[in-house]
Structure 1
Amino acid sequence: MNRRNIDKNGKSRRAVLQATGAIGVAAVAGCLGGGGDAESLDDLLEEEPDEFEPLEIGHWWTAGGEEKAFNALIEGFSEEYSDIEVNPSPSPGGAGSALETDVRNRVVDQDPPSTFQVWPGQSLTLYTDDDLLYDIEGHVWNDDMREAYLDGPIEAAQPSGDFVAVPINIHRLNNLFYNVNVIEDIGVDPDSIESPSDLLDAMAAADDAGYVGMAQQTQSAWSTLQLWAQVLLGEHGVDVYRSFIDGNVEENEDAIRDSLQIVIDYTDYFNDDASSLDAWDEASAYINRGEAAFFHQGDWAAGEYEADENIEYGEDWDLAAYPGTAGMYALVMDSFVFPKHSPSPNATVRFLRYCGTTDAQERFNPPKGSIPPRTDVSDEAFTPFLQDQMADFQESDDQPPSIAHGLAVSPSVQTEIEGAFANFIDNWDVDETYGDLVSSFE
């Protein structure tokens, strides 16, 4: 499935990494690998090297469309750089946590892969705080890339000021999927719902007609955290959302409490088995079967609907921007980085340059079920659903980063927020959860 950052028990790969301990500067102060201790790539790179060291790429894309996407990326790179040997280093399992642990251990040993897949944004502060990634501005990021990327991905590529990552794909988070036949039956126009609180009336209409108002799983916390973030964004606006992720919790107390209460009100219209479902796709199946009106999830959920031969996009299932978030494109992304001590700096810089091209992103994203962060990639190879997503992205006014997926807050804060929502789905208590969120940033 395309939901790759949370395991079936709802434990984030970031939480797994935090349990192993942080990386310290002292542990990586030596000089091993091709990167050594050079402060700048100017000291490492050759315009025309006599030969390239093998390129080792750490990743967790090992199944389904993700595996096809990675293979398409490598095929394109190898066509352009046939003299560079590519050695994929997959770490399957744990929804990415296995790769995080492998990379951490190798960084501590000063022997990282040439590059590795990682969330951009604040997730990268785990590395940038200890100066473990090279600044790739000029060597990779140039005027062409800057012009082709919107502000959200550019900000995620430079969480501490320097450009340290190349985002290669985007998943959208502020989606409200719906079953067209159910919506027509209850007489609701999803595009007319102006706010997350207004959505309650539509859920009630579905409930009165014998349908599930909103399909959801609540056995694990991440999907409720993800839902709450969209409610906060849609009900109280992007400025409040950004203020929250900057740590200004008490300044936004009323908005945070209100959005938590809205989620509690939603629970009256969840499927009866929500608390026993441990995977998002089990909840999304209510849409496939025509048993639920609405479902919130990242756009990877579209893969479940597109794979169902009994339903068609636009005819049987469709989506709208989550109420109140029209004009926004909430970001979930993957990227590649240039770690210090990389064993193959000349090959690594060429791979990162390639990842930032239209060719790479056009090859990678259709099988991945995502869209390219470059806005100048042709949409011809994409499904009608993804074509519509690409148009929405290019027309978006704001691209807020995801809280639940490591882009918006530091790893330690994210772990604390995840804990707050683990308690929330157990007690549905606004006061306690608000207090936990205050503590998350302390």
Structure 2
Amino acid sequence: MGANDDTLSRRTYLKATGAASAAGLGGLSGLLGQDFETLEVQHWWTGGDGAEAIQALFEGFQQKYPDIKVNQNPVAGGAGQNLHTVIKKRVLNDNPPSSWQAWPGANLLPFTRANKLENIEESVWSKNDMKSAYLKGPKQAARPSGNYVTVPLNIHRINNLFYNVNVVEQAGVDPSSISKPSDLLGAMKQVSNNTEAAGMAHQTKSGWSTMQLWTTVLLGEHGLDTYTAFTEGKVTQNEQAIKNSLQIVKDYKQYFNDDAGSIGWTEANKRILNGQAAFFHQGDWAAGMYSPETLEFQKGWNQVTFPGTEGLYMLNMDSFPFPTNNPSPEATTRFLRYVGSVDAQKRFNPKKGSIPPRTDVPKDAFGPFLQGQMEDFKQSKAQPPSTTHGLAVPPETLTNLEDAMATFISSWNVDRAYDGIVQAFQ
């Protein structure tokens, strides 16, 4: 066993000593060295950067624990929805895997309310200096009902504004001088007047990109307290702010690329790559499409914190929870301690294009863009959770909000969208 992992639970200790008294000391050493059940971990990283990153994580885990047999049981497709469906059924039928890839925060409330997740504060979170290395936002997401039940592995930032350097220079716009979301309209108008490019690359084929944009506008225009109140369901109390931020997004629409309704986010992102758009709001995964061969960082493309959200780091995260009726409690404990370690996060995140939730992971394995993001994260005043990715609201509310956004992008009717947002929390 590695450092910090030599404390066995009382149950294992009793199991081991009971067996030892029956089988002599040789039996005890065998148990302590080998007595691990197979670790079954389910995730949706079956292709691209996710597949590479999770393989790197498991390689590190197997080097540390060669005697734990790992059964990766991935569920592909549906941007994680297929896995959500499988897990919900398994967990509620008391047949969970050892652990699985899950958004932390409010996404886990259905499981904590049903008492299906274990408190892992003592067994996991008190090891590896985890509590001191994680900032408040990720720690809160790990304890949606008060107890620590999951371990965040990575962070994707939501409140980025990417831009094509050449287009904004041609338009005479300085992205770093835009102070709030409503001021971005003036910048996009300048782009439209002075260049052939669209003011903002965007997709409205599905609703999530617009929900992500709208919640970021709400945060930037009306502040953290208003955003937090919205996520807590205080919608009617913040009617003006919510309607105003919807109106700003509606006003952005005139500067979207003409084919926004028929393309996905990767196609929209290509508008930045080929100079057909000035700005693009997206999670930091968008930067994975920019390589030095296509567009060089800072010279060809760059990024600012979305106007009005400076000092805030809006989180999307993946984590690994510890279910009750765990088929491999000892192996899972070691796996979750490992997920929370510097070694695991150093292996996984550079390949995934995300940053570690631990603030003490060395930066040298990360490129210049992610190093900047790591610095922003470390210096951030607050780390609000993403609504669009299920960290800020429970699954049933998120489904209702997705319906409200689908209505919004089909009609662009602010009042109807607002009514849908009110109903989403009822």
TM-score of the two chains, using structure 1 as the length reference: 0.89
2:155 & 2:294 partners in 1: Cα distance?
A: 27
Contact 2:34 2:67 (8 Å CA) reproduced: no
Residue 231 of structure 2 is aligned to residue 223 of structure 1: no
- Report the counterpart of residue 146 of structure 1 in structure 2: 131
CA-CA distance at 1:109 after TM superposition: 3.0
1:161 and 2:146 equivalent?
yes
Deviations 1:197-234 (A, max 9, x none): 00000000111122100000111111000000010000
Aligned to 1:203: 188
1:242: which partner in 2? 228
Whether contact under 8 Å (1:44, 1:345) holds in the other structure is: no
How far did residue 45 of structure 1 move?
A: 4.5
**2:285 alignment partner in structure 1:** 300
Aligned equivalent of 1:10: none
Aligned residue type for 2:416: E
Alignment of 1:15-54 (within 5 A): 44-46=11-13, 48=32, 50-54=34-38
The answer to whether structure 1 residue 425 and structure 2 residue 409 are counterparts is: yes
Aligned position for 1:273: 259
Q: CA deviation at 1:97?
A: 1.4
Measured in 2, the distance between the counterparts of 1:257 and 1:346 equals 50
Unaligned runs of 5+ in 1: 1-40
Q: CA deviation at 1:268?
A: 0.7
Contact in 2 for aligned 1:49/1:346 (Cα 8 Å): no
Note if contact 1:45-1:345 (Cα within 8 Å) is conserved in structure 2. Answer: no
Query: What is the root-mean-square deviation in Å for CA atoms of aligned residues?
Result: 1.3
Match of 2:396 among 401, 412, 430: 412
CA distance in 2, matches of 1:408, 1:50: 41
SS in 2 for 1:138: helix
Code of the aligned partner of 2:222: H
> For the residues of structure 2 that align with 1:126 and 1:312, how far apart are their CA atoms?
44
Separation in 2 of the partners of 1:441 and 1:45? 44
C-alpha distance in 2, partners of 1:372/1:45?
32
User: Do residues 264 (structure 1) and 272 (structure 2) align?
Assistant: no
Residue of structure 2 equivalent to 1:283: 268
**Residue of structure 2 aligned with 1:399, choices 383, 389, 396:** 383
For 1:111 and 1:357, locate their aligned partners in 2 and report how far apart those are by CA, in whole Å. Answer: 27
Contact 1:135 1:162 in 2 (8 A): yes
Aligned residue among 311, 319, 327 for 2:295 = 311
Determine whether 1:135 maps to 2:119: yes
Q: State the partner residue of 2:338.
A: 354
Shift of 1:310: 2.6
Residues in 2 aligned to 1:392 and 1:52: alpha-carbon distance in whole angstroms: 40
| Alpha-carbon distance between aligned partners in 2 of 1:355 and 1:346, rounded to the nearest angstrom | 14
Which segments of 5 or more consecutive residues in structure 2 lack a partner in the other structure? Answer: 1-7, 17-31
For the 8 Å contact 1:229–1:403, the answer to whether it is kept is yes
| 1:142-195 C-alpha deviation (Å, 9 max, x unpaired) | 171111000000000000000001000000000000000111111111111000
Answer whether contact 1:113 1:342 (CA < 8 A) is retained.
Answer: yes
The structure where helix makes up a greater share of residues is 2
Once the two structures are TM-superposed, the CA of residue 49 in structure 1 deviates from its matched residue by 6.5
Count of equivalent residues: 400
Q: The residue matched to 1:325 in structure 2 has which SS?
A: coil
SS of equivalent residue, structure 2 residue 400: helix
Q: What is the aligned partner in structure 2 of residue 65 from structure 1?
A: 49
* Alpha-carbon separation, structure 1, partners of 2:388 and 2:102: 14
Change (3 A) 1:45 1:180: farther
Give, in whole Å, the separation in 1 of the partners of 2:294 and 2:395. 41
Q: What is the Cα deviation at residue 108 of structure 1?
A: 3.2
Distance 2:224 2:360 in 1: 26
Which digits, 9 at most, give the CA deviation of each residue in 1:120-159, with x for residues without a partner? 0000002101000100001000171111000000000000
Measure, in 1, the Cα distance between the counterparts of 2:126 and 2:351.
27
TM-score of the superposed pair, with normalisation by structure 2:
0.92
**Contact conserved, 1:122 with 1:156, CA < 8 A, in 2?**
yes
Q: CA deviation at 1:293?
A: 0.6
1:19 match: none
Secondary structure of 1:135's partner?
coil
What percent of counterpart residues are identical? 56
Q: How many Å separate the matches in 2 of 1:219 and 1:97?
A: 18
Note the alpha carbon deviations across 1:316-369, whole angstroms, 9 max, x for none: 000000000011100000000111111110000000000100000000000000
Task: Tell me what 1:24 maps to.
Answer: none
